[in-house]
């Protein structure tokens, strides 16, 4: 039986906030996905407020910000946990509105610009080429083929300068300090913030309360091992107090970080064990989607599911638990040793 505790039963209504710790306000913004909202945070700062994450850059979200900013009028800075559009979409709009700096890690800042500009391997064509090599059926590839830059649509602008944060940096906001904890696997240099005074951690997407974080192999690093990086990163939450208040980007705030880490570790252990059972004969990531995801997947969901399937197979391969080889058709298949 889980001992996770959820102090707040309801998510704040759009345009409203809930104070979850002294000077820390929780708000929610809608998303046009199956995951239909994101949690954002406003922290008391010297003579004003710090905004942590910003929602997607569309008219609906900006209208809600307009309503909120009637109460939180003096913004001193904007902080991003990572570059994904539900976090970064209004960063430039808010920074320009208040004439303030964006604070984030270098990996997240540069990746946002690269994805917006489709630089290097950040193109849909490159991603789909990786999926083809890993056995995704051509009809499903075609369903995901598009000339749209969805990231740039959701992040219509992004700041041209920033204040860099690195692992261990300490930020002061009002009477509290926040230590930066940089994690990997979900994003290049995802930043969480821990306040000892408040016994609170703003966890971003690294430690979610009820769902598992997406951990995927992408075209910019097609031979990467992001699942190993993610598991190593979330293990660090055991260094925080067992009763720390966790403020996740999705789901409700909770106590029980150590148990949640254990649950996520077990979740991935179970998925890896299921894959091992299926790899008695060689299979590709595309063939293994029904093993990891026992529900119909639309094109949007398939995009993330393929990245996750490849990540789990890479984990087994680099751990020496599976072998792999490309067939005459060019498709990479994995099997147990």
Query: Alpha carbon of 93 to those of 18, 54, 126, 200: distances in Å?
Result: 24, 9, 30, 28
- Predicted pLDDT at 147: 84
Order across the sheet with 190-195: list the strands. 170-173, 176-183, 190-195, 200-204, 245-248, 254-255
- Predicted pLDDT at 2: 67
- Predicted pLDDT at 284: 98
Ranges of residues in the chain whose predicted pLDDT is under 50: none
Q: What is the pTM of this model?
A: 0.96
- Predicted pLDDT at 130: 97
Rounded Cα gap, residues 303 and 305, in angstroms: 6
The helix (run of H) or strand (run of E) holding residue 334 is strand 332-336
3-state helix/strand/coil string of 212-254: CCCCCCCCCCCCCCHHHHHHHHHHHHHHCCCCCEEEECCCCCE
Q: What residues pair up with 176 in beta bridges, in sequence order?
A: 173
- Predicted pLDDT at 1: 55
Angle at 58 between CA 52 and CA 64, to 5 degrees: 60
């Amino acid at each position: 039986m889980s001992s996770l505790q959820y102090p707040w039963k309801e998510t704040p209504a759009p345009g409203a906030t809930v104070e979850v710790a002294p000077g820390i306000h929780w708000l929610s913004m809608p998303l046009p996905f199956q995951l239909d909202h994101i949690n954002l945070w406003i922290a008391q700062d010297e003579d004003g407020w710090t905004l942590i994450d910003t929602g997607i850059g569309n008219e609906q979200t900006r209208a809600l910000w307009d309503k909120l900013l009637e109460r939180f009028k003096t913004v001193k800075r904007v902080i991003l946990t990572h570059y994904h559009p539900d976090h970064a979409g209004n960063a430039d709009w808010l920074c320009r509105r208040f004439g303030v700096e964006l604070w984030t890690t270098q990996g997240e800042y540069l990746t946002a610009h690269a994805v917006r500009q489709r630089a290097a391997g950040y193109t849909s064509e490159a991603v789909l080429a990786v999926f083809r090599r890993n056995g995704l059926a051509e009809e499903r590839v075609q369903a995901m083929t598009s000339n749209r830059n969805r990231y740039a649509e959701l992040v219509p602008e992004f700041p041209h300068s920033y204040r860099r944060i690195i692992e261990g940096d300490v930020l002061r906001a009002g009477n509290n300090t926040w230590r930066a904890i940089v994690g990997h696997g979900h994003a290049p240099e995802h930043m969480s913030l821990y306040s000892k005074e408040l016994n609170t951690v703003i966890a971003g997407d690294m430690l979610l309360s009820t769902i598992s974080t997406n951990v995927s192999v992408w075209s910019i690093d097609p031979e990467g091992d992001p699942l190993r990086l993610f598991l190593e990163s979330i293990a660090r939450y055991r260094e925080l107090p067992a009763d720390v208040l966790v403020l996740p980007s999705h789901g409700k705030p909770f106590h029980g970080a150590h148990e949640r880490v254990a649950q996520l570790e077990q979740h991935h252990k179970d998925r890896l064990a299921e894959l091992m059972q299926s790899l008695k004969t060689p299979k590709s990531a595309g063939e293994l989607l029904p093993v990891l995801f026992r529900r119909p997947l639309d094109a949007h969901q398939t995009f993330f599911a393929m990245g996750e399937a490849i990540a789990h197979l890479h984990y087994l391969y680099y751990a020496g638990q599976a072998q792999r080889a490309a067939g005459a058709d060019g498709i990479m298949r994995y099997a147990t040793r």
